[in-house]
Amino acid sequence: MNIKNLTTRPGFEFVFAIGIAAIFILPAAVMAQDNKNIEISITNGDTVINGKNIKDLSPQDRKEALSDLHKLQGGDRGGHKEYRFERRSNGGNMGRDNSELGYSNLNIVRTPDGYMVSKEKDDAGQHPHLRRVKVTDVIITAPEHPMNAPDENRGDENRSFGPPPHDELIENFSRRNTQEFDYTNIDNDGVETGVNFRVTEPKGVRLKGIAGIDKTDLNISDLKIVPDFVTGKTLIMFSLPTKATAEIEFFDNAGKLLWSEKTSTGSFTKNFALPLNGVYNLKIKQSGKMEVKQIFKEG
């Protein structure tokens, strides 16, 4: 076969050969992109993502470097997904007793991996583990007598809600203005450590109590929270709309100031100790405007 003629006037053989090459080459290229390594190094307060120190990057390059963090996800435990419920404002005021949230009938079971919500029904088409539950900020509260008047006490950790479900779990609960960062680390001994950060924007009464304002008017971007499992510290970083001087304050849920920093670079990065689970409040002030984020740490 004349190679010159084959390349200048492609026929069936040439097209077939190209097709075979594509079958073997393209999947490998796609898999190489999907399996991109993400390396994060935190040393003396400097954060390096894939060899780039975020302090030295332009806003655009910093955004691209931080985008890799979106790919970091903790794996499912034992093939199950664990669900955490949070309250969401629907425009009304939100009191401390959560009464405006109401109650929901959910088929909830307790497994070794936590409380699960299942769509499983028995032969009669009923939910065998139906509980009338109250949705609070971070847990599911189950009353002692499920179908009677709700109990304000939290569910007993030792109370069994039935066997683990075997069917498909409910996999999505919509959340508004919420970010969640879920990390899992396995050390050389095979010991698994997990930590979860959930970031929300407080509204109404809660915002008023935290910051003394009715609404926020400063928009930050590229917010990321990353744990350092070696040192036990936590890295927080975000971009600001301008390079004007900004004041950043971090409080516990009792209102105690844990740290305060200023920046005039258009971005902020801080590595600090955050050993305890709980609720924390982040306040950012710039040019007379304010942003407030509420951070839930578990793990």
Give dist(CA 63, CA 50) in Å, integer.
13
- What tens-digit pLDDT sequence spans the chain (299 residues)? 444 444 445 555 555 555 555 554 544 444 444 444 555 555 555 666 667 777 777 777 776 766 655 444 433 434 333 333 333 333 433 333 333 333 444 455 554 444 455 545 555 555 444 444 433 333 333 333 333 333 333 344 333 333 333 332 222 333 456 888 888 887 777 777 888 899 999 989 999 999 999 999 999 998 999 888 888 899 999 999 999 999 999 999 999 999 999 999 999 999 999 989 999 999 999 999 999 999 999 87
Residue 96: inside a domain, yes or no?
no
Residue 163: inside a domain, yes or no?
no
Residue 120: inside a domain, yes or no?
no
CB within 8 Å of 189: residues ≥ 6 apart: none
Provide the β-strand partners of residue 263: 246
Which of 71, 86, 111 is at the close of a domain? 71
Element spanning 269, H or E: strand 267-273
Which residue type is seen at 106?
Answer: L
| CATH number of domain containing 206 | 2.60.40.3080
Q: How many domains does the chain have?
A: 2
Kindly report the number of other CB atoms within 10 A of residue 184's CB atom: 17
Residue 269: inside a domain, yes or no?
yes
Give dist(CA 273, CA 288) in Å, integer.
29
Residue 164: inside a domain, yes or no?
no
- Ramachandran angles phi, psi of 54, nearest 5°: -65, -20
Which residue type is seen at 111?
Answer: T
Which of 48, 71, 94 is at the close of a domain? 71
Is residue 69 a contact partner of residue 50, using CB atoms and an 8 Å limit?
no
Q: Is the dihedral of CA 275, 273, 192, 110 positive or negative?
A: positive
Residue 186: inside a domain, yes or no?
yes
H helices of the chain, in order, are 3-8, 12-34, 59-67, 204-211
Token output for 283: 């306040």
Residue 49's domain comprises: 40-71
Which of 54, 71, 88 is at the close of a domain? 71
Residue 253: inside a domain, yes or no?
yes
Residue 161: inside a domain, yes or no?
no
Dihedral (Cα; 224, 197, 106, 162), 10-degree rounding: 140
Token output for 254: 């009792």
Give dist(CA 169, CA 89) in Å, integer.
26
